[in-house]
């Protein structure tokens, strides 16, 4: 199995900050965009592929396929998973993806969410999903960019 470096939640999924800065900081050679909608959206996939260097592979999988393929990954793969929401991350963890912590970058549910950090506006559903992830023993770390100080999400909820 490959080495899972990080799971990041970012409602914009893969953009320059994630595809370049985070991938380089982590030393990833494979990014998996895990989201049930983007897996069927070739236009969005093409836009995301443009922000990743040629040295880094990129795959677009549904949440269920991500859970299924991770155990089969080559040991040479240094994997960075990006998902869109707390609900996606919860499904990954509940599906058996083993990770010590989840990086929370950007969630902008501004219409229905409560702003708890400059990069986070969370709905009650988001908060409930995060509590379930924490109950499964996974640390929740708010860190929009690698140079930001890590904040424990539960300490600001």
Q: What residues act catalytically?
A: 15
**The residue count for the chain:** 157
**Nearest alpha carbon to residue 60 among 94, 37, 28:** 37
Query: How far is Cα 19 from Cα 32, in angstroms, rounded to an integer?
Result: 11
Q: Tokens at residue 149, please?
A: 């100080």
Which two structure tokens, joined as six digits, stand for 143? 């860190």
DSSP string, 81-148: EEESSHHHHHHHHHTT---SEEEEEEEE-TTTPEEEETTEEE-HHHHHHHHHHHHTT-EEEE-SSTTS
The helix/strand/coil state of 3 is: strand
């Amino acid at each position: 199995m490959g080495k899972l470096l990080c799971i990041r939640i970012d409602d914009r999924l893969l953009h320059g900050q994630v595809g370049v800065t985070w991938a380089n900081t982590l030393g990833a050679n494979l990014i998996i965009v895990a989201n049930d909608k983007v897996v069927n959206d070739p236009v969005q996939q093409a836009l995301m592929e443009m922000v990743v260097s040629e040295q880094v592979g990129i795959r677009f999988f549904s949440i269920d396929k991500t859970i299924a393929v991770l155990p089969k990954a080559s040991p040479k793969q240094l994997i960075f998973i990006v998902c869109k929401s707390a609900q996606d991350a919860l499904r990954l963890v509940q599906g058996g993806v083993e990770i010590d912590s989840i990086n929370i970058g950007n969630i902008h549910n501004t219409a229905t969410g409560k702003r708890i950090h400059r990069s986070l506006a969370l709905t009650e559903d988001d908060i409930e999903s995060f509590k379930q992830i924490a109950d499964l023993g996974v640390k929740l770390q708010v860190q929009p960019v690698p140079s930001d100080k890590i904040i424990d999400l539960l300490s600001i909820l």
